[in-house]
Structure 1
Amino acid sequence: MNPRLDALLRGTVSAAQANALTPLYALPAAVRRRLAGPPIQIDGNTLDPEIQLLLRANALLPGTTKTDALAARAQFRSVNKLVAGHPRALQRVTDLTVRGADGQLGARLYVPRTGRDTGNGLLVFFHGGGWVVGDLDTHDSLCRIIAADAGIRVLAVDYRLAPEAPAPTAAEDAIAAFTWAVDHAEDLGVDPARIAVGGDSAGGNVSAVVAQQSVVRDFPRPALQVLLYPALDLVGRRPSRDLFGEGFLLTEEDIMWYREHYTPDPAARPTAEVSPLLVDDKALAELPPALVTSAGFDPLRDEAREYVDRLTAAGVPVTHLYHPTLVHGHYNLIPLPGATADALVTLTAHLKAALGPAS
């Protein structure tokens, strides 16, 4: 690379460390493409150049190694501050508590400026982070955007994390929180028949479990299951793990580290409460409609595709939003232009159509 461009990129990364990615993406598109480097093509897909630039910047930051869970959580919070963008204004954002599987859990209700006092749609949202990291703050910007642009209420739930609370605690907390939301629909100002469950990555995992267990345990079913590049199988391994397990934000090392922390007992991994992709076919037939997203450069891509195929074969209405140029975690990369921003617009448009206010 040209030394002057390299110096410019390093200077911009220094600004990013101060929570300012904006200057990097304010550069002319031609400059950004030069900084990103030659196109990366794998398995017939070409990586989005704006994502490639972010990965290049990330490679210039000091390396970090996951040690203990507390350090990993602090690192995850710091990284998310860099890519959160400016918080979207809403009618109100309220912290509250909801029922978990064993006691109360922190939660946050996002109310858009559109909507009514009652009868609104609601997404009960569970954050990603490998069941080990992540919290209400790491996904605050995403929840605000969903609420504002889809015109729906969002209830984000701070479920208990591993290793302090190993599997299937996160899933059981999610089940309890979802049923709490249905029980308290009037208090939340929403229609109990229009409550969806969703989340990204590990949050997509527990959301899939909630949908499945609503059938198995016969509690109210979600109006929609929203699975954003979900982790669905902690046992099997598919080609995308080998293709994209290094250099695309979520690495193979990350996946194994999260798995060991969430499921220290390997016997838990093949259960439906931990690996919802492995559930019996009979449990799929009565599931609510699904909105599933996947990314072309995501090591979890193939398990999402497989679940889409299984749901479709079982007769479940499925919308699959596949973004071939993007990586795992792209909905949290708020300041990025181009394909990343377009994917978020597409997501909120689908949520608005499914749960938003009547026209």
Structure 2
Amino acid sequence: MNPRLDSVLRGAVAAVQANALTPLYALPTAVRRRLAGPPIQIDGNTLDPELQLLVRVEKLLPRTTKSDAATARAHLKTLCALVAGPPVELQRVTELTVRGADGQLGARLYVPRDAGRGLLVFLHGGGWVVGDLDTHDALCRSLSRDAGIRVLAVDYRLAPEAPAPTAAEDAIAAFTWAVDHAEDLGADPSLVAVGGDSAGGNLAAVVAQQCVRRNLPQPALQVLLYPALDLVNRRPSRDLFSEGMILTEDDIIWYRDHYTPDPKVRTDPVVSPLLAEDLTGLAPTYLTTGGFDPLRDEGAEYATALRAAGNDLTYVPHPSLTHGYANLLNIPGTTREAQTHLTTHLKSVLY
């Protein structure tokens, strides 16, 4: 790399350390491409160059090792603030409480201007250990505005303080509360969906399954963004992308061990929904995977299983994206295209 580009890259790293991605992505496209380096191609897929730049800059930052839950939670808050961009303006955002499995949970209702009648109960990612209403505030605002629907984000209880299946039971209780109170929230009870990213996608899949098993009201749609679905079995994508692509193998093990300190619970479909024996009769599904995500193969396998069981499925693989792309709202390129595809689908079903 020539000295001028090297200087630019050092400036980009400094900008990221200062929690400001805007200067990095304000650089001319040609400069960003050169900073990102030669295209990364793995397993027939080419990494989106805008994400490749972010991955490269991230590798130059001081490595943050997950030690305890509190430190990891603070780190995720910092990262999410970094990539969020300016807050999306909505008609209103309201703090409230919803029913959990054992008491009340914090929640946040997002209402856009000119809202339709649909409601998405959103369950944040973070390995069941980190994440909260604030880490996914930007994503929920964007979903609400662009799909024209209400979004109810739920602050379910986290591990290790509340190990599995606490988060799943909280999610089930919160979803059924949302259906029961849909009209109070300004929504149609028949248009209440459930969704989430990563660990939140796991919980959304559990909600959809358990609503059938427990004879509860079913979601109008389940939205599974690069979900974690199997805490027992390992697939090739775990080896292909074990390092350097946002979510690492060490991360996966750390989250799993905190959420399920008792390995015996990992085979339960309330923890690993991909292991459910019967997948018939589930809510219509919108499921995405990233081509550079260690969880890619379990998501693709669940899509195949859902289709084989006769379910209505919209499966959208994003070959050039990494895990966590939905939170990267301040990055141009394919991440924005993926967000547009999602919100268009949400609007078509729930508006």
Aligned partner of 2:322 in structure 1 is 327
Question: Does 1:301 pair with 2:296?
Answer: yes
Q: Residue 330 of structure 2: SS of its match in structure 1?
A: coil
In the aligned structure 2, how far is the partner of 1:308 from the partner of 1:38? 32
- CA drift of 1:219 comes to 0.5
Aligned partner of 1:15 in structure 2 is 15
| Contact 1:17 1:82 survives alignment (8 Å) | no
Match 1:239 to one of 236, 241, 244? 236
- CA drift of 1:78 comes to 0.5
Q: How does 1:338-349 map to 2 (within 5 A)?
A: 338-349=333-344
Match 2:184 to one of 184, 187, 192? 187
Q: Residue 282 of structure 2: SS of its match in structure 1?
A: coil
AA in 1 matched with 2:88:
R
Question: Does 1:123 pair with 2:120?
Answer: yes
Q: Residue 322 of structure 2: SS of its match in structure 1?
A: coil
In the aligned structure 2, how far is the partner of 1:51 from the partner of 1:115? 32
In the aligned structure 2, how far is the partner of 1:318 from the partner of 1:277? 15
Identity across matched positions, percent: 72
In the aligned structure 2, how far is the partner of 1:5 from the partner of 1:334? 26
AA in 2 matched with 1:235:
V
Q: How does 1:56-135 map to 2 (within 5 A)?
A: 56-115=56-115, 120-135=117-132
In the aligned structure 1, how far is the partner of 2:242 from the partner of 2:72? 19
- CA drift of 1:60 comes to 1.1
Q: Residue 296 of structure 1: SS of its match in structure 2?
A: strand
Question: Does 1:146 pair with 2:150?
Answer: no
In the aligned structure 2, how far is the partner of 1:28 from the partner of 1:163? 44
- CA drift of 1:10 comes to 1.8
| Contact 1:294 1:322 survives alignment (8 Å) | yes
| Contact 1:226 1:292 survives alignment (8 Å) | yes
- CA drift of 1:94 comes to 0.3
| Contact 1:10 1:60 survives alignment (8 Å) | no
- CA drift of 1:321 comes to 1.1
Match 1:336 to one of 306, 310, 331? 331
Q: Residue 261 of structure 1: SS of its match in structure 2?
A: helix
Per-residue CA distance 1:79-125 (angstroms, 9 max, x = gap) = 11110111110000001000000111000000010126xxx100000
In the aligned structure 1, how far is the partner of 2:16 from the partner of 2:251? 23
Deviation >4 Å, runs of 4+: none
For structure 1, which segment, 143-152 or 8-17, has the greater mean C-alpha deviation from structure 2 after superposition? 8-17
Match 2:310 to one of 304, 308, 315? 315
- CA drift of 1:15 comes to 1.7
- CA drift of 1:6 comes to 2.1
Aligned pair count reads 351
- CA drift of 1:9 comes to 1.4
AA in 2 matched with 1:213:
Q
AA in 2 matched with 1:160:
R
| Contact 1:296 1:323 survives alignment (8 Å) | yes
Match 1:267 to one of 261, 264, 269? 264
Aligned partner of 1:251 in structure 2 is 248
In the aligned structure 1, how far is the partner of 2:286 from the partner of 2:305? 14
In the aligned structure 1, how far is the partner of 2:260 from the partner of 2:275? 16
In the aligned structure 2, how far is the partner of 1:289 from the partner of 1:178? 16
Gaps of 5+ in 1: none
Aligned partner of 1:177 in structure 2 is 174
Question: Does 1:26 pair with 2:26?
Answer: yes
AA in 2 matched with 1:131:
W
For structure 1, which segment, 13-22 or 188-197, has the greater mean C-alpha deviation from structure 2 after superposition? 13-22
Aligned partner of 1:285 in structure 2 is 280
- CA drift of 1:5 comes to 1.4
Per-residue CA distance 1:302-354 (angstroms, 9 max, x = gap) = 00000000000010000011110000000100111111111111111111111
Aligned partner of 1:51 in structure 2 is 51
| Contact 1:204 1:230 survives alignment (8 Å) | yes
Q: Residue 321 of structure 2: SS of its match in structure 1?
A: coil
Aligned partner of 2:196 in structure 1 is 199
Gaps of 5+ in 2: none
Per-residue CA distance 1:165-193 (angstroms, 9 max, x = gap) = 00000000000000100111111010000
AA in 1 matched with 2:98:
V
In the aligned structure 1, how far is the partner of 2:3 from the partner of 2:293? 31
- CA drift of 1:261 comes to 0.2
| Contact 1:88 1:145 survives alignment (8 Å) | yes
In the aligned structure 1, how far is the partner of 2:62 from the partner of 2:75? 12
In the aligned structure 1, how far is the partner of 2:333 from the partner of 2:12? 19
In the aligned structure 2, how far is the partner of 1:7 from the partner of 1:15? 12
- CA drift of 1:4 comes to 2.5
RMSD of equivalent CA atoms: 0.8
In the aligned structure 1, how far is the partner of 2:283 from the partner of 2:94? 28
